[in-house]
């Protein structure tokens, strides 16, 4: 880690540099057009003209804001409210220890609605019934500050924020309180849309926003999350391309990790290899701490210690994905570190693969929900487990489902998008429609100590997870490049 805490001498030196900077000295002067995030002018390898973030144009972000205001005004059409104000804070900069920030990840709803990537910002949308599409989008951003920028890099400032995102106007975030008090002065009988149950920014929540809600006597407050999620759950054409990209990067990275695994390999090595390959291929970071679990550790579903040696004859279960330009992938594969499945391993593996492929096909049926796929998965897996004598032949009826859940205690699916567990406001009972992305991830977990189950299966944990886009032409497997058939896995792992 770089030296951040300065000694006295360094502080003096730094003040000297700072004076030269602010008095027009030549050192550390940023080029005229520098922003707090990649832009077409500064990062032409990432951003094309007209885009706010890679692959997403100003028009697309504008459309998202319009769609939200339209939903809000439609929803409240009978309520005689005069206006609506939507308050969406950015995430705060947080620190792991004195002066050392955590890697920053933007608040998803804020990112979705404007694409501005600086911490400690805030978006306000204002609309009046009957006025669409004339709603107003205002960003509040960290003030330009040469001394802070000397350390942390350039900030976009109010002009840069408007130029990058195409919002109607921007202010320094210090002016948020005044802006909100003017809003109360000028508007009566309005609805505030703000996620008070999970405040995205605790400082603004505790200060300006609470003051605003109090000044309005806590009247008419609603959470915008369900409406935003109802938009986010359907991916646009541009988003589908970004989903394919993040899924392809992770799929290719999986192949490299498989190739680098061997008896005696440390789980930490495979973790590092996945991280490295995803970044090399263009992802910003891993979408979540991956599970890299050798042997019986695969039966701990959220195993993330990733610090053991994987022995010859064992399989490794890796659940990992990356975040690329704001979109997450989520893949699980299980493979033998030696490159060759044993007989009991392949028996269980092929049974699970059969179930996983059936679940994928169900996504192509009309009028089907993730809940329907889950019930179908339990039935299919129950049949397979009975055939393999993992479940006794005398278990029948509803007890098969109960017993099956013991060997697969998690759901088979969740939405996928900007968040790994995307749009959690959308219940799993909602029918799948084109534009949705979801995972299909059945598993079989047989702990090392498991009486009644044939001994050869003890200590085996397997999950197979693909990412699926529901398209007008049926389900598309976005992670098809990542091998999952035993022969394909063995082929990838063969050394030349």
**Measured from the CB atom, is 80 or 302 closer to Mn ion?**
302
Write out the E strands in 226-381. 265-266, 285-286, 291-294, 309-310, 315-320, 322-324, 327-328, 331-336
Tokens standing for 116?
């501005």
Element of type H or E holding 445: strand 443-446
**What's the closest the beta carbon of residue 363 comes to Mn ion, in angstroms?**
15
Q: Angle 31-51-94 (CA atoms, 0-180°, nearest 5)?
A: 70
CB of 465: closest distance to Mn ion in angstroms?
Answer: 6
Q: How far apart are CA 35 and CA 328, in angstroms?
A: 25
Q: Of 437 and 450, which CB lies nearer to Mn ion in the complex structure? A: 437
> Minimum Å distance from CB 415 to Mn ion?
10
Other C-beta atoms lying within 10 Å of the C-beta of residue 33: 11
Q: Return the range that interacts with Mn ion (CB under 5 A); candidates 35-43, 234-242, 357-365, 439-447.
A: 439-447
Q: CA 414, 395, 397 angle in degrees (round to 5)?
A: 65
Extract the tokens encoding 489.
């896995």
413 touches Mn ion (CB under 5 A)? no
CB of 330 to Mn ion, least distance (A): 4
In 10 A of CB 472, how many CB atoms?
7
Considering the complex, state which of residue 314 and residue 330 has its C-beta at the smaller distance from Mn ion: 330
Dihedral sign, Cα of residue 488, residue 490, residue 492, residue 496: negative
Residue 196's SS3 state is: coil
Contact 125, 139 (CB under 8 A): no
Identity of the residue, 126 or 330, whose beta carbon is nearer to Mn ion in the bound complex: 330
Shortest Cβ distance from residue 320 to Mn ion (Å)?
10
Q: Which is nearer to Mn ion, 85 or 438 (CB)?
A: 438
Mark 315-354 with x for binding to Mn ion (rule: CB under 5 A) and - for no binding: ---------------x------------------------
Q: 442 near 464, Cβ under 8 Å?
A: yes
- Closest separation between CB of residue 421 and Mn ion, Å? 7
- In the bound state with Mn ion, the residue whose beta carbon lies nearer, of 114 and 291, is 291
The residue from 246, 299, 329, 439 that contacts Mn ion (CB under 5 A) is 439
Closest distance between Mn ion and the C-beta of residue 439, in Å?
4
384 vs 413 by CB, closer to Mn ion: 413
Residue nearest to Mn ion (CB): 330
Distance CA(399)–CA(394), nearest Å, equals 10
Residues in binding contact with Mn ion, number by CB under 5 A: 2
Query: What is the SS3 assignment for 48?
Result: coil
158-177 residues near Mn ion, rule: CB under 5 A: none
Q: Measured from the CB atom, is 135 or 415 closer to Mn ion? A: 415
Instruction: Specify whether the CB–CB gap between 124 and 83 falls below 8 A.
Output: no
Of 121 and 423, CB closest to Mn ion: 423
Distance between CA 204 and CA 120 in Å, rounded? 9
Residues numbered 65-94 forming contacts with Mn ion, rule: CB under 5 A: none
CB of 321 to Mn ion, least distance (A): 8
CA atoms within 13 A on the CB side of 163: 16
| The one segment of 126-134, 159-167, 368-376, 432-440 that binds Mn ion by CB under 5 A | 432-440
Query: In whole angstroms, how close is the CB of 414 to Mn ion at the nearest point?
Result: 6
Residues near Mn ion, by CB under 5 A: 330, 439
């Amino acid at each position: 880690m770089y030296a951040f805490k300065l000694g006295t001498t360094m502080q003096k030196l730094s003040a000297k540099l700072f004076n030269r900077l602010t008095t027009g000295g030549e050192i550390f002067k940023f080029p005229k057009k520098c922003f707090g995030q990649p832009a077409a002018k500064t990062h032409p390898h990432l951003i094309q003209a007209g885009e706010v973030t890679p692959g997403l144009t100003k028009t697309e972000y504008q459309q998202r804001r319009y769609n939200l205001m339209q939903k809000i005004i439609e929803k409240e059409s009978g309520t005689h409210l005069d206006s609506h104000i939507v308050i969406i804070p950015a995430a705060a900069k947080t620190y792991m220890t004195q002066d050392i920030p955590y890697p920053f990840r933007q608040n998803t709803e804020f990112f979705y609605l404007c694409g501005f990537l600086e911490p400690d910002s805030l978006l306000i949308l204002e609309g009046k019934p009957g006025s669409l599409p004339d709603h107003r989008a205002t960003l509040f951003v960290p003030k330009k500050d040469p001394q802070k920028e000397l350390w942390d890099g350039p900030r976009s400032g109010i002009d840069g924020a408007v130029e990058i995102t195409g919002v109607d106007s921007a202010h320094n975030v210090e002016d948020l309180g005044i802006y909100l008090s003017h809003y109360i002065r000028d508007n009566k009988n309005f609805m505030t849309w703000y996620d008070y149950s999970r405040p995205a920014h605790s400082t603004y929540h505790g200060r300006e926003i609470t003051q605003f809600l109090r000044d309005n006597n806590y009247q008419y407050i609603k959470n915008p999350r369900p409406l935003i999620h109802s938009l986010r759950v359907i991916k646009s054409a541009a988003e589908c391309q970004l989903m394919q990209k993040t899924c392809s990067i992770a799929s290719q990275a999986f192949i490299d990790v498989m190739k680098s695994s061997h008896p005696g390999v440390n789980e930490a090595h495979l973790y590092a290899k996945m991280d490295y390959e995803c970044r090399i291929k263009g992802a910003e970071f891993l979408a979540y701490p991956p599970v890299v679990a050798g042997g019986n550790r695969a039966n701990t579903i959220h195993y993330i210690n990733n610090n053991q040696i994987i022995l010859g004859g064992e399989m490794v279960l890796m659940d990992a994905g990356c975040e690329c330009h704001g979109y997450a992938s989520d893949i699980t594969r299980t493979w033998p570190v030696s490159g060759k499945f044993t007989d009991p391993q392949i028996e269980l593996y092929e049974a699970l693969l059969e179930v996983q492929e059936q679940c994928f096909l169900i996504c192509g049926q009309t009028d089907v929900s993730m809940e329907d796929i889950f019930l179908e998965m339990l039935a299919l897996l129950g049949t397979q487990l009975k055939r393999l004598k993992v479940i006794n032949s005398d278990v029948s009826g509803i007890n098969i489902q109960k017993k099956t859940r013991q060997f697969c205690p998690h759901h088979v699916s969740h939405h996928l998008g900007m968040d790994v567990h995307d749009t959690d406001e959308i219940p799993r009972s909602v029918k799948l429609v084109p534009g949705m992305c979801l995972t299909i991830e059945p598993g079989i977990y047989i702990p090392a100590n498991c009486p009644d189950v044939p001994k050869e299966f003890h200590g085996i944990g397997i999950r197979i997870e693909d990412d699926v886009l529901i398209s007008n032409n049926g389900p598309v497997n976005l992670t098809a490049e990542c091998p999952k058939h035993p022969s394909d896995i063995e082929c990838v792992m063969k050394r030349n």
